[in-house]
Amino acid sequence: MRVSAICLPLSAAIGLAIILTGAPAAAKTLAECNHDYAADKAAIKASGQTKKDYVAACRSGASAPAAAAPSPEPTPTPRTGY
């Protein structure tokens, strides 16, 4: 009885620790990261990031490893009152 009273809470705590230390929810598989890289290869290379660095950041679930998005061109404002 005494062993069960100690083992059950201990095993529950170990199980919870394993669940919480798993991979982050945002982490992708190698195939998904390679697909994302291939889809945006030109922009990623233009940003100076290597494929190896991109895939590593993608797999770790770090903040968006995508290349910097080009800024939209400003739209000219119409002049009135001529």
Residue bearing tokens 């890289």: 37
pLDDT at position 44 is 93
- 5 belongs to a structural domain: no
- 75 belongs to a structural domain: no
- 13 belongs to a structural domain: no
Per-residue pLDDT of the chain (82 residues; tens, 9 = 90+): 566 667 667 677 676 566 666 655 667 889 999 999 999 999 999 999 999 999 999 988 875 555 445 556 667 777 776 6
Query: What does pTM read for this prediction?
Result: 0.46
- 35 belongs to a structural domain: yes
The residue range of the domain holding 39 is 30-64
Amino acid at 54: Y
Tell me the two tokens of residue 43: 């922009």
Tell me the two tokens of residue 52: 């190896």
Work out how many domains the chain is built from and give that number.
Answer: 1
- CA separation, residue 2 to residues 10, 11, 50 (Å): 13, 14, 57
- 72 belongs to a structural domain: no
- 52 belongs to a structural domain: yes
Tell me the two tokens of residue 29: 């598989």
